[in-house]
């Protein structure tokens, strides 16, 4: 039987792509759709708003009501709205896939607390390619001892958080592989007379422009050579498909905290 999904942030760039991915997946069905209070799309049908088909559940601003017949919730609203809705998600009592990025440490802890009550997938990037890249980056960092690690990410000009959640996950993977503490070694900006690069620095730089769905490159600079590991998302469909895969996987899991590596069977 199809897994029934409620999409929170239904009118967003990701929400619409997730609606289309659900529409095209015979193992999934949309059981509810929510956007913020005052949104123009309230009262519209999900698939029509997404431009992928006719009908679909009516978009409301009431999570508990919209999620009541769902097996799984998918939330792609942003760190702040997700954080503000955590108590409602606890009340709803459903497994939840969270794709929002940019959580502070405190907000992340609150998400972890929710996972004591319901199963939670929290992943800053739902694509198979990025999650494989995370493994490659960790391994490269382990093998390339002493190489300078730098990371550049590029996203569209509407993105609100920086660096991207994916960039931070890649930086974490590199730090782990190299045996470094990311918080102690991350450098987010360079300007002026900054002196020589410290050997353990992990530079993380952000570009914003146009409609880029998401590009990430991790550089390992050595003497006389460098290795670059790049992931380019051509479209948001890769994240949306991953979110639906995560929802189908999570539907029958016990409460707890999961990530995309768990969903994809990479760990
Ligand atoms: P967006 O601004 O286009 O969409 C967000 C949607 O959420 C909007 O329709 C907005 O009205 C709605 N919203 C805001 N507050 C709400 C609330 N309280 N209740 C219900 N709906 C609410 O943004 P986007 O580009 O779709 O990205 C959304 C989030 O997903 C961002 O944090 C982004 O970084 C993240 N993202 C994650 C992945 C991944 O693979 N995990 C991929 C792409 C984007």
Q: Which domains does the chain have, with CATH numbers?
A: 3-126+236-263 (3.40.50.720), 128-232 (3.30.360.10)
For atom 16 of ligand 1, the residue with the nearest CA is 36
pLDDT at 5: 98
Q: Which are the contacts of 109, defined by CB distance < 8 A and separation ≥ 6?
A: none
Question: Could you say which residues of the chain have pLDDT below 50?
Answer: none
165's enclosing H/E stretch is helix 165-178
- Pocket test residue of 11, 38, 49, 78 for ligand 1, highest count of atoms within 8 A of CB: 78
Atom in ligand 1 nearest the alpha carbon of residue 15:
26
Give the predicted TM-score (pTM) of the model. 0.93
Question: Does residue 8 have its Cβ closer than 6 Å to ligand 1?
Answer: yes
pLDDT at 178: 98
Spatial separation of the C-alpha atoms in residues 244 and 7, rounded to whole Å: 10
- Overall residue count recorded for the chain in this entry: 267
The answer to whether the annotation marks 140 as part of a ligand binding site is no
For atom 17 of ligand 1, the residue with the nearest CA is 36
pLDDT at 59: 98
| Active-site option among 16, 94, 138, 155 | 155
The answer to whether the annotation marks 124 as part of a ligand binding site is yes
Question: Does residue 57 have its Cβ closer than 6 Å to ligand 1?
Answer: no
Question: Does residue 14 have its Cβ closer than 6 Å to ligand 1?
Answer: yes
pLDDT at 186: 98
The Å distance, Cα 158 to ligand 1 centre, comes to 11
Q: Which are the contacts of 149, defined by CB distance < 8 A and separation ≥ 6?
A: 141, 174, 178, 201, 202, 203, 218, 219, 220, 221
pLDDT digits (tens, 9 = 90+) for 196-245: 999 999 999 999 999 999 999 999 999 999 999 999 999 999 999 999 99
The answer to whether the annotation marks 77 as part of a ligand binding site is no
């Amino acid at each position: 039987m199809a897994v029934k999904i409620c999409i929170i942030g239904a009118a967003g760039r990701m929400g619409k792509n997730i609606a289309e991915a659900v529409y095209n997946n015979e193992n999934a069905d949309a059981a509810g759709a929510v956007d913020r209070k005052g949104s123009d799309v309230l009262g519209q049908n999900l698939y029509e708003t997404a431009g992928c088909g006719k009908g679909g559940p009516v978009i409301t601003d009431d999570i508990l009501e919209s999620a009541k017949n769902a097996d799984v919730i998918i939330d792609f609203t942003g760190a702040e709205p997700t954080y503000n809705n955590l108590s409602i998600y606890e009340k709803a009592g459903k497994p939840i896939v969270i794709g929002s990025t940019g959580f502070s440490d405190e907000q992340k802890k609150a998400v972890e607390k929710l996972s004591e009550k319901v199963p939670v997938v929290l992943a800053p990037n739902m694509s198979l390619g990025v999650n494989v890249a995370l493994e490659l980056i960790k391994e490269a960092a382990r093998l390339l001892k002493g190489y300078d690690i730098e990371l550049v990410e590029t996203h569209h000009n509407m993105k609100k958080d920086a660096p991207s959640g994916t960039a931070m996950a890649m930086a974490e993977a590199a730090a782990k592989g190299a045996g470094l503490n990311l918080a102690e070694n991350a450098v987010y900006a360079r300007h002026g007379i900054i002196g020589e690069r410290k050997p353990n620095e992990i530079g993380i730089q952000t570009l914003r422009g146009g409609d880029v769905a998401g590009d990430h490159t991790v550089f390992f600079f050595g003497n006389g050579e460098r290795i670059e590991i790049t992931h380019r998302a051509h479209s948001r469909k890769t994240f949306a498909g991953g979110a639906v895969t995560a929802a189908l996987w999570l539907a029958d899991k016990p409460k707890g905290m999961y990530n995309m590596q768990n969903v994809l069977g990479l760990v």
